[in-house]
Amino acid sequence: MIHKYQYKDQYIVLDINSGAVHVVTYIVYDILDYYKEKPLEDIPELLYDRYGREDILEALEEINYLVENEMLYTDDSQVTMDMLEGRGAVIKAMCLHVAHDCNMTCKYCFGDKGAFEGVRSLLSLETGKKAIDFLLEHSGTRRNLEIDFFGGEPLMNFEVVKSLVAYGREAEKVYGKNIRFTITTNGLLLDDVKADFINKNMDNVILSIDGRQSVNDNMRRTVNNKGTYDIITENYVRFVEKRKGTYYVRGTFTRENLDFSEDVKHLADKGFKNVSIEPVVTDPSFSYALQEDDKEMILKEYDKLTDLYLDYAKEGKKFEFFHFNVDMNQGPCVVKRVSGCGAGTEYVAVSPEGDIYPCHQFVGNQDFKLGNLNDDHFENNRYDEFNKAHIYNKEKCRECWAKFYCSGGCHANAYHMNHDILEPYELGCELEKKRIECAIAIKAILSE
């Protein structure tokens, strides 16, 4: 399977099963329309009105070279059932909900404004330690583990966060593990004391902000219904000045700001080096939900964003946009590519009550509760279901060129939109394919 597309003056060919990416001349791009459809000896005749015979033969020789060296039209024989479903019931990443409470009331919050359809609560230190023990005990031979402090708003329970980091650091030595801590925050409580601790202890920090003031304050408000832009921008600018490690400012775009490349620009102009703006996923009946007829505008917006990204790179104002990150040297291996995010198998979320769910997006949905930290024995009754929800079992993914880049999309999106984790969210697919094309085109252009 190949996928070829044009981006401005770049002609790009992806060999799907090997991960190879080629930038080609127009003649090769043209020939590939016929290469598998017609006998090769007929191709010079088919294209005689466009190219000289010698040029066509030369191009054909180069294409043949790629095919013979397993760089084009490769098969997926390296993918085995073991890779797809045999990774074993190991848990290596946990989203720890330290607060089911929040000091903001973001309109689009998937977590019921922090309460996740339950009682507002904070994680106790005791339950948090049990969660860390649970992760360590179920991690098998995996050395690198991840704990993400999430919520609600984690900074509302910061003393527990600090104690859990200390506990984790001791426990990891006993088990011979390496825990990577990360945290997400809405920024309201991000003072210097918390910032110092975060900088010393968190490998990544997600700072939530939607972009321009009008956009951010339309959605992200305090419990008193005031805008948050001024406070959080000041806090974030101060924070990143001291930050040596990775961070991302991360926002959500909705139907109310389909011109979201302006929000990316706004954040980049503020000096933030790592930016992510992502599509809202919510009930389609909400006025701000993305609809099918927004698709064309969103795709054009990703084109604008690509131009912005490249212009800023040329002008010495380079920033990273999360969805344009793609590692052309290696990237994850095919095993990772087919297993996806690991939700429900190697990644779980834990609520303040110690309830265990497939991921943060399922927290509060009792149908998806996998167990509780106090259970004598943890038996993930959805393990098989999530383990089998890979690209080879999803009809739409099997023949999709993006399958090894996307890995089948978000299970929660699929479930919330289609009530079926085997049925990807279609608009999500279209946007993801566009982002991948942009990301690779950027690499092609920057490699010139």
Note whether 9 binds another protein by CB under 8 A: no
Residue from 3, 24, 181, 354 touching another protein (CB under 8 A): that is 24
CB burial readout 275-301, b (16+ within 10 A) else e: bbbebbbbeeeeebbbeeebeeebbeb
Return d(Cα 149, Cα 198) in angstroms, integer: 11
Note whether 52 binds another protein by CB under 8 A: no
How long, in residues, is the chain? 448
DSSP 293-345: GGHHHHHHHHHHHHHHHHHHHHTT---EEGGG---SS--S-HHHHHHTT-BTT
Tokens of residue 245, six digits: 């490690």
Return d(Cα 36, Cα 74) in angstroms, integer: 13
Smallest gap from Cβ 421 to another protein, in A, equals 12
Which runs of consecutive H residues, i.e. helices, occur in 88-228? 125-137, 158-175, 192-201, 213-219
Residue from 119, 223, 237, 328 touching another protein (CB under 8 A): that is 328
- The site for another protein, by CB under 8 A, has a size of 90
Residue from 17, 233, 261, 306 touching another protein (CB under 8 A): that is 17
Note whether 406 binds another protein by CB under 8 A: yes
Give, in degrees to the nearest 5, the angle at Cα 110 between 324 and 125: 100
Residues in 363-402 that interact with another protein by CB under 8 A: none
CB burial readout 53-73, b (16+ within 10 A) else e: eeebeebbeebeebeeeebbb
Region binding another protein by CB under 8 A among candidate stretches 15-23, 112-120, 259-267, 373-381: 15-23
Residue from 121, 157, 182, 254 touching another protein (CB under 8 A): that is 182
Q: Which is nearer to another protein, 18 or 228 (CB)?
A: 18
Cβ contact 216:229 at 8 Å: yes
Smallest gap from Cβ 15 to another protein, in A, equals 7
Residues in 428-447 that interact with another protein by CB under 8 A: 432, 435-436, 439, 443-444, 447
CA 283 to chain centre: 20
Residues in 193-232 that interact with another protein by CB under 8 A: 204, 206
Tokens of residue 432, six digits: 């993801």
Residues in 120-159 that interact with another protein by CB under 8 A: 142-144, 146, 148, 150
Smallest gap from Cβ 324 to another protein, in A, equals 8
Smallest gap from Cβ 376 to another protein, in A, equals 27
Residues in 73-102 that interact with another protein by CB under 8 A: 74, 78, 82-83, 86-87, 90, 92-93, 95
Smallest gap from Cβ 80 to another protein, in A, equals 8
Cβ contact 407:392 at 8 Å: no
Q: Which is nearer to another protein, 95 or 215 (CB)?
A: 95
